[in-house]
A and B are shown apart, each in its own frame.
Chain A
Amino acid sequence: TAAMLKCEMNGSQVKVFGKAIQALSRVSDELWLDPSEKGLALRSMNSSRSAYGCVLFSPVFFQHYQWSTSMKMNDDDRPLNLNCKLGMKSILPIFRCLTSLERNVEKCKIFTRSDKCKVVIQFFCRHGIKRTHNVCFQESQPLQVIFEKNMCNNTLMIQPRLLAEAIVLFTSSQEEVTLAVTPLNVCLKSSSEESMDLTNSVYSEMSVDPDEFDFFQIGLDTEITFCFKELKGMLTFSEAVHVPISIHFDFPGKPMALSIDDMLLEANFILATLADDRSRASSPQSLCLSQTQKRSDLIQSNPKADKSGTSQAPECISRKTAPKRLYSRETPTNNSAGTCGNPPTRRANGASIFEVPESSLSDTDEGPGSPYLRKFSCMFFGAVSSDQQEHSNHPLDSLAIASDSEEDVINGSVSF
């Protein structure tokens, strides 16, 4: 049988679900539906690989939640997941007018199977009206990102209203914003690089007292610059669920995380930040960045990447360590049934490549009866399967393009 997802929501749950989709639409035009025993994850990554968003709805969020993997195995002897990718253009209009959906919808059912090619979304509304939407999906492995939020030197937690006041300062023409912190002060300001390019732009700056934060921990004085768009998306979502936003970050160049965490759902947006090195092009598209040394390493080891013009792809998120061989075909990497998306715990030569902390390795220990309310502190990045075949068919799906050289294939997880 096929991999399957079936879930049910009431009107107010639909509103939150719709808000999540709207927030993710700020990241990119594509959305993955990725069910697992942890719940239903909605994932999105932009084409320049500089922003990633994931909203994970715990099974208890839904009125009813059911999922399964396929009984069929793929070449690597693992069960196939529901690899479901939807176009935002198809799904976003269905979840427009959320206030009226909340009012009118009594029940919403979402159902899909990997052998059908569509997702069926049904709204059972007042007055006996039933609305059915069939959205075709593309089979595609979801991408995920690991990010060690707890390892960041700087963490701020803030009420969304406060951030909303800051957002108003910046004009729509300004794409980048800089967050500057010291233990005594937090300042949000227009990116000075961008201001220099546009001669007529206003430079704005807002300072916020540390007392205004729900949680304030600064271990490293720093200034990071990132794209604004995704912040706005996350902000609207957090206002809708009335949960404060946490910001986790370190030094420029290292990605930052925006997250909200509540008993029923967890949302994480991982954004690339501008590296200190100014030699990059000033286009906001190339806001994916790592230190230049890493960049040149990747380019050398990925001759294909340059030719295909996707040299942006491998560099998007900086890595603390040099790439190592992640796995070979022979190594089973994922046991989808229980631990969908977990990093491989064994490799050919035995060493762990993922620098994943104990807490997430313990995921593999969970049996089917484990509590749903466990929060996870990191999410990891990589294709769910190590299938090389698929990898070459969808080169953009992986963090780095497979190379011919002995240097490695990063078709899997990367941690920071």
Chain B
Amino acid sequence: MKFRAKIVDAACLNQFTRVSNMIAKLAKTCTLRINPDKLNFILNDKLASGGVSMWCELEQENFFSEFQMEGVSAENNEIYLELTSENLSRALKTAQNARTLKIKLTNKHFPCLTVSVELLSVSNSSRIVTHDIPIKVIPRKLWKDLQEPAVPDSDVSIYLPVLKTMRSVVEKMKNISSHLVIEANLNGELNLKIETELVCVTTHFKDLGNPPLASENTSQGRNPEEMAEVHIDIRKLLQFLAGQQVNPTKALCNIVNNRIVHFDLLHEDVSLQYFIPALS
């Protein structure tokens, strides 16, 4: 198994750092999948995360000037690694004004992802900083649980409002209730509702628009006003929203009534899918 990659472009490095920061906010521990074309950050630990799953994908050639990998075997030319997300984001933080960034798989006492940064200091001498991030190699037999989740047939698909606004609303709601209803219809309306013995609070978002594909797939008979809803843990929604430091290029959510809400985001060239199941 081998992996070496290099980033020389400042914009690519910043974007990669942003992705890593986002992953660190969304999942404490995650799986990094490496194949010749893509890198994926995966969370599919149903038990640990209470059913939440995450699939983040980026095309390696959009980031790396050099990229070499050799998977477990010729037929299975992939590498699956488990790591603590924060370790990677912290290491990348030191690469803010770096000339180059190299990442490679190494084995120093134990398997590591070694991040090596070349910094240019004021006095024009270069300084090398390396971080050995401990990782665990995930064996072949567990790979089947780490595949891209199927996008469910949703009842409603809708574009999301500005995530920062959503986040501040949900942050306040969290103080009142531990669970929340997210509902939307094909008329571009989305509501966030909480209810306790003493109070009900609903925030209404209008004129959001619905993606065209969704309206085609749904049965002709669906009333555009009819809401599809899911009851979810408010903290899970908040964690997802907190991970989005920058407003995405595209953001939509798919709701399967009483089953699951699926968030589908695009941050420039990095896609993120996040699934929150209904509370049982």
| Cβ-based interface call for A63 (8 A) | no
Task: Tell me if A211 and B123 are in contact (CB < 8 A).
Answer: yes
Residues of B within 8 A of A211 (CB): 123, 125
Question: Are A209 and B125 interface neighbours, CB within 8 A?
Answer: yes
User: Nearest CB to that of B127 among chain A residues?
Assistant: A208
Chain A 113-169 residues near chain B, CB threshold 8 A: 162, 165, 168-169
B220 interface contact, C-beta 8 A = no
The reply to whether A202 and B123 contact each other, CB–CB distance below 8 Å, is no
Interface size on A, residues (CB 8 A): 18
B134: Cβ under 8 A from any A Cβ: yes
Task: Indicate if A282 sits at the interface (CB-CB under 8 A).
Answer: no
Known: A168-B93, A171-B90. A203 touches B132 (CB 8 A): yes
* Alpha-carbon distance A169/B117, docked complex (angstroms): 11
With A169-B94, A206-B127 in contact, is A200–B134 under 8 Å at CB? yes
Instruction: Return the contact of B121 from the options A169, A200, A201, A212 (Cβ within 8 A).
Output: A212
Let me know if B154 is at the binding interface, CB within 8 A. no
Contact of A212 among B112, B125, B129, B134 (CB under 8 A): B125
- Structural contact, A209 and B130, CB atoms closer than 8 A: no
Q: Which of A200, A203, A209 is within 8 Å of B127, CB to CB? A: A209
Question: Which A residues lie within 8 Å of B119 (CB)?
Answer: 165
Q: How far is the CA of A259 from the CA of B25 in the complex (A)?
A: 39
Name the residue on A nearest B125 (C-beta).
A209
Q: B123 to A212, Cβ gap below 8 A? A: yes
- Interface hits, B130-162 → A, CB 8 Å: 130-134
Q: Are B131 and A202 in contact (CB under 8 A)?
A: yes
What is the bound-complex CA distance between A169 and B91, given in angstroms? 7
Chain B residues within an 8 Å CB radius of A168? 93-94
Nearest CB in chain A to that of B109: its residue: A196
Which residues of B157-172 are within 8 A (CB) of A? none
Q: How far is the CB of B83 from chain A (nearest CB, A)?
A: 9
| B84 CB-CB contact with A under 8 Å | yes
What does DSSP make chain B's interface, helix, strand, loop or mixed?
strand
| Chain A residues, Cβ within 8 Å of B91 | 202, 204
**Is B12 part of the contact surface with A, judged by Cβ < 8 Å?**
no
When A168-B94, A211-B123 are in contact, do A200 and B129 touch as well, CB less than 8 Å? no
B1 in the interface, Cβ–Cβ < 8 Å?
no
CA of A162 to CA of B84 in the docked complex: distance in angstroms?
Answer: 28
Q: Name which of B108, B112, B134 has the most chain A CB atoms within 10 A of its CB.
A: B134
Would you call B84 and A169 a contact (CB within 8 A)? no
Q: Is the CB of A201 within 8 A of B134?
A: yes
Interface SS of A by simple majority: mixed
Cβ of A81 to closest chain B Cβ, rounded Å: 46
CA distance A91 to B234 in the complex (A): 42
Q: Are A203 and B131 in contact, CB atoms less than 8 angstroms apart? A: yes
A205 near B: Cβ within 8 Å?
A: yes
Chain A residues closer than 8 Å to B130, beta-carbon distance: 204-206
Complex Cα gap A202–B114 (Å):
9
Residue of B nearest to A161 (CB): B122
Q: Does A207 contact B (CB under 8 A)?
A: yes
In the assembly, what is the distance between CA of A206 and CA of B129, in Å? 4
Residue pair A169, B127 in contact (C-beta under 8 Å): no
Interface residues of A in 72-98 (CB under 8 A from B): none
Minimum CB–CB distance for B21 against chain A, Å: 15
Q: Does A279 belong to the interface (CB within 8 Å)?
A: no
Give the residue name and chain of the B residue nearest to A212 (CB).
B123
List residues of A (28-61) whose CB comes within 8 Å of B's CBs. Answer: none
Query: How far is A206 from B128 in the complex, measured between Cα atoms in Å?
Result: 6
The answer to the question of A389 belonging to the interface, with a C-beta cut-off of 8 Å to chain B, is no
Looking at the assembled complex, report how far the CB atom of B205 sits from the nearest CB atom of chain A, in whole angstroms.
39
B-chain residues with CB within 8 Å of residue A202 when the two chains form the complex: 87, 90-91, 131-134
Nearest Cβ on chain B to A237's Cβ, whole angstroms: 22
- Find chain B residues with CB under 8 A from A203 CB: 108, 112, 131-132
Q: How far is the CA of A211 from the CA of B246 in the complex (A)?
A: 39
Is residue A199 within 8 Å, beta carbon to beta carbon, of the partner chain?
yes
Inter-subunit contact A162/B121 (CB<8 Å): yes
| Distance of B157 from chain A, by nearest CB (Å) | 40
Question: Could you list which residues of chain B lie within 8 angstroms of chain A, going by C-beta atoms?
Answer: 84, 87, 90-91, 93-94, 108, 112, 119, 121, 123, 125-134
Query: Can you report 30 residue pairs joining A to B where beta carbons are below 8 Å apart?
Result: A165-B119, A168-B94, A169-B94, A169-B131, A200-B87, A202-B131, A202-B133, A202-B134, A203-B108, A203-B112, A203-B132, A204-B94, A204-B129, A204-B130, A204-B131, A204-B132, A206-B128, A206-B129, A206-B130, A207-B127, A207-B128, A207-B129, A208-B127, A209-B121, A209-B125, A209-B126, A211-B123, A211-B125, A212-B121, A212-B127
